């Protein structure tokens, strides 16, 4: 794996305004925003899989979409190699699109039910003018269907999504993202809607097919799945990165109380073991105009006085292991 970043994110923020805002905002005239992504900075290296882990509603999906500009941020910068993608015009962004793809969570919603597998998988090739004729289209689609173990490909090419199982549909979604060999893929909970036997198969296929892309942001709410698939892991909580490091370091030497709580919720490092709910006691603070203190304060068993009045910065505690907790800041 190269240490050259393919994606660089600097001070990225995405605030969603709240319409109305209720009586208290009317009285104070304070504008209210959901802080979905709040001052986040990190790199994804070439040939790296970075896992983004956190409970639902923590801002993972919003962050993934910001990285490929499916959403516009409130402020901050996103670089693909040396290009600040937020400075690109729409037509420049269209040229960059084939380099950046996304696999959506829901294989039932992400595929157009009126298109055949052949047309669905070939769509990125056609949109980006990467094929000359129908023969080449069928050849390229057949090749990736074989790689996705949808064989013989002729048996699948002319089927519609409703004629496929959930696992087969997600293989089609993965094939669509990878057929143009993008540099960077956002995989947004790609196995969370699948049954346990299919999840492991799809993950193993994605590992085998890693050569078809350079780097992934792999979004999941399950640490065990991230450990299985990712080189490094970033732990996200209420719009902020709480801890980031190599997968081994995060699992064997977790330094943030939230990471430890997540690990206790998923004790078995096996992607087939599924724990849906993280059972951490305490009230989750609202993501609407959150106070400038540690966001995990209300649930943290280690909290001290300083945690209630100062938001900890994400700092390197050694070897690139980053932690945002006052207990780790000397
Ligand atoms: Fe807990 Fe304080 Fe660390 Fe936040 S900063 S995780 S409240 S110890």
Whether residue 312 has its Cβ less than 6 Å from ligand 1: yes
> From the CB of 327, is ligand 1 less than 6 Å away?
yes
Please indicate whether residue 72 or residue 286 has the higher confidence score (pLDDT).
72
pLDDT for 49? 95
Ligand 1 centroid–CA 24 distance in Å is 29
3-state secondary structure of 259: helix
> Is any ligand 1 atom within 6 A of the Cβ of residue 296?
yes
**Closest ligand 1 atom, residue 326 Cα:** 5
pLDDT surpasses 90 at 247:
yes
pLDDT digits (tens, 9 = 90+) for 190-201: 888 888 888 888
Q: Does 310 sit in the ligand 1 pocket, CB within 6 Å?
A: no
Q: What is the mean pLDDT of residues 60-71?
A: 97
78 CB within 6 A, ligand 1: no
Q: What is the pLDDT of residue 80?
A: 97
Q: How far is the CA of 266 from the centre of ligand 1 (A)?
A: 21
Residue 271 has pLDDT above 60, yes or no: no
User: Rounded to whole angstroms, how far apart are CA atoms 304 and 29?
Assistant: 32
Return the H-helix or E-strand segment holding 204. Answer: helix 196-208
- Give 235 Cα–ligand 1 centroid separation in angstroms: 14
Place of tokens 């500009």: 69
Domain that holds residue 68: 5-328
pLDDT of residue 273: 47
Does residue 307 have its Cβ closer than 6 Å to ligand 1?
Answer: yes
pTM of the model: 0.91
Q: 216 CA to middle of ligand 1, Å?
A: 30
Confidence class of residue 279 from pLDDT cuts 50, 70 and 90?
low
Question: Ligand 1 pocket: which of 300, 311, 314 to mutate (most atoms <8 Å of CB)?
Answer: 300
| CB of 190 closer than 6 angstroms to any ligand 1 atom | no
Taking the C-alpha atoms of residue 320 and residue 253, their distance in angstroms, rounded to an integer, is 13
Query: Exposure of 14 by Cβ count < 10 A (0-12 exposed, 13-18 middle, 19+ buried)?
Result: buried
Is pLDDT of 262 > 70? yes
Q: How far is the centre of ligand 1, averaged over its atoms, from the C-alpha of 1 (Å)?
A: 33
Q: What is the mean predicted confidence (pLDDT) over 104-131?
A: 92
Arithmetic mean of pLDDT, 5-11: 97
Check pLDDT > 90 for residue 93: yes
Tell me, using a 6 A CB cutoff, whether residue 325 lines ligand 1.
yes
Hey, which of 240, 261, 307 would you mutate to test ligand 1's pocket, going by the most ligand atoms within 8 Å of its Cβ?
307
What's the mean pLDDT when you consider all of the chain?
A: 90
Pocket test for ligand 1, best of 241, 256, 297 (most atoms within 8 A of CB): 297
Q: What percent of the chain stands above pLDDT 70?
A: 92
Sheet holding 33-45, edge to edge: 33-45, 5-17, 75-80, 83-84
Residue 261 Cβ contacting ligand 1 at under 6 Å:
no
Indicate the number of domains in the chain: 1
Angle at 41 between CA 39 and CA 42, to 5 degrees: 155
Pocket of ligand 1 contains residue 238 by CB under 6 Å = no
Give 165's strand partners: none
For ligand 1, atom 5: residue with the closest CA: 325
pLDDT given at position 98: 93
CATH at residue 281: 3.40.50.300
């Amino acid at each position: 794996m190269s240490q050259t970043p393919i994606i660089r994110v600097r001070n990225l923020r995405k605030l969603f305004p709240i319409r109305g805002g209720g009586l208290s905002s009317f009285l104070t005239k304070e504008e209210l925003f959901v802080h979905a992504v709040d001052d986040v900075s990190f790199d994804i290296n070439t040939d790296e899989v970075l896992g983004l882990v956190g409970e639902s509603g923590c801002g993972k999906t919003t962050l993934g979409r910001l990285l490929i500009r499916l959403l516009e941020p409130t402020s901050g910068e996103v670089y693909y190699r040396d290009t600040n993608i937020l400075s690109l015009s729409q037509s420049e962004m269209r040229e960059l699109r084939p380099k950046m793809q996304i696999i959506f969570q829901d294989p039932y919603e992400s595929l157009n039910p009126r298109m055949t597998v052949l047309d669905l998988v070939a769509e990125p090739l056609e949109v980006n003018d990467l094929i000359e004729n129908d023969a080449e289209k069928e050849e390229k689609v057949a090749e990736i269907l074989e790689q996705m173990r949808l064989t013989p490909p002729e048996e699948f090419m002319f089927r519609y999504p409703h004629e496929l199982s959930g696992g087969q549909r997600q293989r089609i979604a993965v094939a669509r993202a990878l057929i143009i060999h993008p540099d960077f893929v956002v995989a947004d909970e790609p196995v969370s809607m699948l049954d346990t036997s299919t999840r492991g198969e799809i993950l193993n296929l994605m590992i085998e097919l890693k050569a078809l892309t350079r780097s992934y942001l792999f979004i999941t709410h399950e640490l065990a799945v991230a450990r299985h698939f990712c080189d490094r892991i970033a732990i996200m909580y209420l719009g902020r990165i709480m801890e980031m490091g190599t997968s081994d370091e995060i699992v064997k030497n977790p330094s943030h109380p939230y990471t430890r709580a997540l690990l206790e919720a998923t004790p078995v490092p096996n992607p087939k073991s599924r724990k849906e709910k993280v059972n951490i006691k305490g009230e989750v603070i609202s993501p609407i105009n959150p106070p400038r203190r540690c966001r995990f304060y209300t649930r943290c068993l280690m909290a001290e006085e300083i945690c209630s009045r100062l938001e900890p910065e994400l700092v390197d505690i050694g070897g690139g292991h980053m932690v945002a907790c006052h207990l780790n800041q000397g």
